[in-house]
């Protein structure tokens, strides 16, 4: 399945387009996506910080997802580094 | 009667509106309004700040604002009106970043609910702040991991459902 991943904040600094596409097997979980991003980051982002990925959450367009959740069928996901509103 | 107003405001198009917040949470049966207004300050950790940029995942942010507001409304038996808006874009010193207002029959509920909402907005909504310093550098501020918030909320839900 194709994953369209939105990036924000420090991750957008690593990838100025603000999004990447990844290919994962059908039925993959959020945990699989986390591993795939770790691989991608180590290969493509010289300033990649694995610790930031570890502290980051995932969401669909509408809700937060846990590592054990399945990736939505449409493959539209967002990577959310630690937040700081207000 | 609409009890909740939750929005992300792109400051390229408009500004946060304190008067609109007061008007929204006003009600003939409400004797108290509490409001939190977050503004951009000129100093952080000893560094002179020239401005900040807020980035948001708009759709999810509004959903989470609504969840927070609905949970708070439920917590206070529905006798509230709640207004939540957060700015998106680049702000200067003194500009408004967030406005939370709560109207209720009495002041105690208004203060407590307002505090509850702003704390959750700061810790749970997908919002990121980049500070721009007078020395020309910019940095994303340290934040709260949503993994921990989510795990905590999930655990609380599982715990509650078991009783």
What pTM does this model have? 0.92
Q: Kindly determine whether residue B126 and residue A8, on different chains, have CB atoms separated by under 8 Å.
A: yes
- What integer is the mean pLDDT of A51-62? 95
- Chain A residues within an 8 Å CB radius of B86: 85-86
Q: Kindly determine whether residue A80 and residue B126, on different chains, have CB atoms separated by under 8 Å.
A: yes
Quick one: pLDDT at residue B161? 37
Minimal C-alpha gap between B127 and chain A (Å): 5
> Rounded to a whole number, what is the distance in angstroms from the first to the last CA of chain B?
34
Tell me, yes or no, if A78 comes closer than 8 A to chain B by beta carbon.
Answer: yes
Percent of chain B with pLDDT over 70: 91
Q: Kindly determine whether residue B147 and residue A85, on different chains, have CB atoms separated by under 8 Å.
A: no
Q: B121 to chain A: nearest residue by CA?
A: A85
Nearest by CB to A9, from B63, B122, B128: name it: B128
Quick one: pLDDT at residue B156? 56
Q: How far is CA B69 from CA A10, B4, B116, B154, in A?
A: 28, 7, 9, 18
What is the number of CB-based contacts under 8 A between chain A and chain B? 89
For residue A61, give the DSSP letter.
S
| Long-range contacts, B11-19 (Cβ 8 Å, 24+) | B11/B87, B11/B88, B11/B89, B11/B90, B11/B91, B11/B95, B12/B89, B15/B87, B15/B95, B15/B96, B16/B85, B16/B87, B16/B96, B16/B97, B16/B98, B16/B99, B17/B85, B17/B99, B18/B96, B18/B99
**Could you tell me if B118 and B36 are in contact, meaning their C-beta atoms sit under 8 angstroms apart?**
yes
Q: Which of A5, A67, A12, A8 is nearest to B150 (CA)?
A: A67
Q: A82 to chain B: nearest residue by CA?
A: B145
Quick one: pLDDT at residue B1? 73
Quick one: pLDDT at residue B153? 61
**Could you tell me if A34 and A11 are in contact, meaning their C-beta atoms sit under 8 angstroms apart?**
no
> A10-46 pLDDT, tens per residue?
999 999 999 999 999 999 999 999 999 999 999 999 9
pLDDT in tens, chain B (163 residues): 799 999 999 999 999 999 999 999 999 999 999 999 999 999 998 999 999 999 999 999 999 999 999 999 999 999 999 999 999 999 999 999 999 999 999 999 999 999 999 999 999 999 999 999 999 999 999 899 998 766 666 555 444 433 3
Quick one: pLDDT at residue A61? 85
Q: What is the average pLDDT value for chain A, to the nearest integer?
A: 96
């Amino acid at each position: 399945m194709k994953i369209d991943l939105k990036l924000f904040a420090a991750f957008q600094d690593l990838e100025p387009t603000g999004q990447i596409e990844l290919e994962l097997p059908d039925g993959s979980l959020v945990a699989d996506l986390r591993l795939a991003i770790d691989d991608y980051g180590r290969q493509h982002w010289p300033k990649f910080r694995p610790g930031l990925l570890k502290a980051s959450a995932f969401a669909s367009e509408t809700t937060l997802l846990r590592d054990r959740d399945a990736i939505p069928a449409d493959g539209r996901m967002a990577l959310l580094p630690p937040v700081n509103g207000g | 009667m609409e009890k909740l107003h939750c929005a992300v405001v792109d400051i390229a198009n408009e500004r946060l509106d304190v008067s609109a917040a007061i008007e929204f949470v006003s009600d003939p049966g409400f004797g108290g309004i509490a409001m939190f207004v977050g503004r951009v300050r000129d100093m952080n950790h000893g560094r002179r700040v020239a401005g900040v940029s807020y980035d948001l995942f708009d759709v999810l942010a509004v959903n989470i604002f609504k969840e927070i507001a609905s949970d708070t409304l439920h917590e206070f038996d529905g006798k509230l009106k709640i207004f939540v808006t957060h700015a998106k874009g680049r702000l200067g010193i003194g500009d408004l970043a967030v406005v939370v207002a709560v109207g209720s029959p009495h002041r105690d509920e208004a203060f407590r609910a307002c505090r509850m909402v702003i704390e959750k907005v700061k810790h749970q909504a997908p919002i990121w702040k980049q500070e721009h310093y007078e020395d020309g550098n910019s940095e994303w501020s340290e934040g709260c991991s949503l993994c921990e918030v989510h795990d905590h909320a999930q655990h609380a839900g599982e715990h509650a459902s078991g009783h």
